[in-house]
Chain A
Amino acid sequence: MVIGRSMAKTLMRPRLRLAASAPDERLVAITLWMVLVWEWEAFYSAYEETPW
């Protein structure tokens, strides 16, 4: 079975179109403060820096 190339960019492209059609700047400003802030950087960096 050949799994083939990554599809991440293919799935990301329509998502970027969605983002481009999203709220105008004023609404973005209003909703910005509800954007969830995650502290997952520690997780990501731990994962990528692990001596595999």
Chain B
Amino acid sequence: MATPDTLTAAQEAQLLVSRAEWEAIGRSTEPADRPTAEAAITALYAIAGKPKPLFFWVDGPAQGSLLISHVIRDDWETRTEADRQAILTARYPFPATIDTSEVRKHLSWGFWGQHEAYWAAYYDWPDRYVAKLYPDDLRHQLDQWVAIAKSCGWWHPYELAVVVCERPEIQTVDTEGRLHHDTGPAIRCRDGFEVYAWHGVRVPAKVITHPETITVAEITAETNQEIRRIMLTRFGHARYLRESGAVREQGDDTGDLYRATRTDDTDVVMVRVLNGSAEAIKTAEEVEGQDGTWVEAGWHKYYWLRVPPTVTSAREGVAWSYNVPVAEYENVLRT
């Protein structure tokens, strides 16, 4: 079939609309549309020449893997009703009474439902908006994959049964589409499984929820450079300098240069500068514990400028923060 090699203006405009629609499908946190998902999955079984499977709905992949670890051991029939209910209602982290020893073997899922939206969108879009590409039987099959993407989360098929997950109840991304949340989980499944992420980098929960409890020792001990950078950001560069035994290397009339030497990573170098304007503060109690100092009757805040590790003077660092060479910075000061 001849296919066009350019898009019309209307088709290009539609691409943007479609992309937004499919992003919303992939990031939906609505409860699953169970009738739609079951009909579509049953249709795929029919295409493969198989009868309708038995559906096991679970609140998320963690609960699903637990279920699969028991179902595919083929002992579902021999379990007590209490055991079955315990598995079907388990929430992550699982209680000690649940046997999770088999779960690790069953973490892989065949299909990702809404998280495979890119696949369905890619094959659906040109057929729908550019030119008819598929014979009726393939279009019918694609319709099922589209319906699944729009209706449920991860799923895995077996000969007689299929395990299907509810969609997560939280899914948040930053403006670049990376998993991110600055106060809570970026993903939380309905079975309790959570993922904490900072602009696409997975981090321990407390880095997000309780950054004030991070310690210098933990930052130093973290072997993953990306995670350590985020821990440092959450901890605060200025506080890190104060608490890590950073050395004051140099000082001049612009401020003081501090360096925290790190053996396996770039040094943290900052310039501490004093705000020229006093804060509207009347008593010492108001500023207790804050980073600043009294200059005669006025209280001034310190600001910390993170500068490149190659900087060797406070003046050079301040000039760098203005994006000008030191000589030019001197001229600015003079004029």
Set A12, A34, A37, A45: member contacting B202, Cβ < 8 A: A45
Across chains A and B, the number of contacting residue pairs, with CB separation under 8 Å, is: 148
Interface centre among A11, A18, A50 (most CB of B within 10 A): A11
Asked if B156 is at the interface of the complex by the 8 Å CB criterion, the answer is yes
Q: Are B160 and A11 in contact (CB under 8 A)?
A: no
- Taken together as a complex, chains A and B put the C-alpha atoms of A10 and B49 apart, in Å, by 10
Using a CB-CB cutoff of 8 Å, which residues 18-54 of chain B contact chain A?
18-19, 22-23, 26, 44-45, 47-48, 50, 54
Q: Are B145 and A15 in contact (CB under 8 A)?
A: yes
- Taken together as a complex, chains A and B put the C-alpha atoms of A18 and B119 apart, in Å, by 11
Report B329 CB to chain A, min CB distance, Å. 40
Interface string of B156-167 (1 = CB under 8 A from A): 111111100000
Q: Are B121 and A36 in contact (CB under 8 A)?
A: yes
Q: Which of B103-111, B211-219, B261-269, B290-298 contacts A (4 or more CB under 8 A)?
A: B103-111
Set A5, A22, A31, A39: member contacting B178, Cβ < 8 A: A39
Using a CB-CB cutoff of 8 Å, which residues 31-52 of chain A contact chain B?
31, 34-40, 42-43, 45-48, 50, 52
Q: Are B193 and A6 in contact (CB under 8 A)?
A: no
The chain B residue with its CB closest to the CB of A8 is B110
Residues of B within 8 A of A (CB): 3-7, 15, 18-19, 22-23, 26, 44-45, 47-48, 50, 54, 61-62, 65, 71-72, 74, 76-77, 100, 103-104, 107-108, 110-112, 115, 117-118, 121-123, 125-126, 130, 133-135, 138, 141-142, 145, 156-162, 173, 177-179, 186-187, 193, 195, 197, 200-202
Set A7, A17, A38, A48: member contacting B159, Cβ < 8 A: A7
Q: Do A47 and B107 contact each other (CB < 8 Å), given the known contacts A11-B44, A11-B48?
A: yes
Which B residues lie within 8 Å of A27 (CB)?
Answer: 3-5, 126, 130
Q: Are A34 and B19 in contact (CB under 8 A)?
A: yes
Q: Are A52 and B19 in contact (CB under 8 A)?
A: no
Known: A23-B3, A36-B23, A36-B118. 15 other contacts (CB 8 A): A3-B71, A6-B158, A8-B110, A10-B157, A11-B110, A18-B123, A23-B133, A26-B5, A31-B125, A34-B122, A36-B121, A40-B112, A42-B197, A42-B201, A47-B107
Q: Do A38 and B26 contact each other (CB < 8 Å), given the known contacts A3-B74, A17-B138, A18-B123?
A: yes
Set B54, B118, B123: member contacting A38, Cβ < 8 A: B118
Q: Are B118 and A35 in contact (CB under 8 A)?
A: yes
- Taken together as a complex, chains A and B put the C-alpha atoms of A37 and B142 apart, in Å, by 20
The chain A residue with its CB closest to the CB of B163 is A3
Q: Are A14 and B48 in contact (CB under 8 A)?
A: yes
- Taken together as a complex, chains A and B put the C-alpha atoms of A43 and B264 apart, in Å, by 28
Which B residues lie within 8 Å of A45 (CB)?
Answer: 202
Report A3 CB to chain B, min CB distance, Å. 5
Residues of A within 8 A of B (CB): 1-8, 10-15, 17-19, 21-24, 26-27, 30-31, 34-40, 42-43, 45-48, 50, 52
The chain B residue with its CB closest to the CB of A29 is B5
Which A residues lie within 8 Å of B19 (CB)?
Answer: 34, 36
Q: Are B3 and A31 in contact (CB under 8 A)?
A: no
Q: Are B160 and A43 in contact (CB under 8 A)?
A: no
Report A47 CB to chain B, min CB distance, Å. 6
Q: Are A39 and B179 in contact (CB under 8 A)?
A: yes
Q: Are A8 and B3 in contact (CB under 8 A)?
A: no
Set B50, B103, B118, B160: member contacting A37, Cβ < 8 A: B118
Report B207 CB to chain A, min CB distance, Å. 14
Which B residues lie within 8 Å of A39 (CB)?
Answer: 173, 177-179, 200
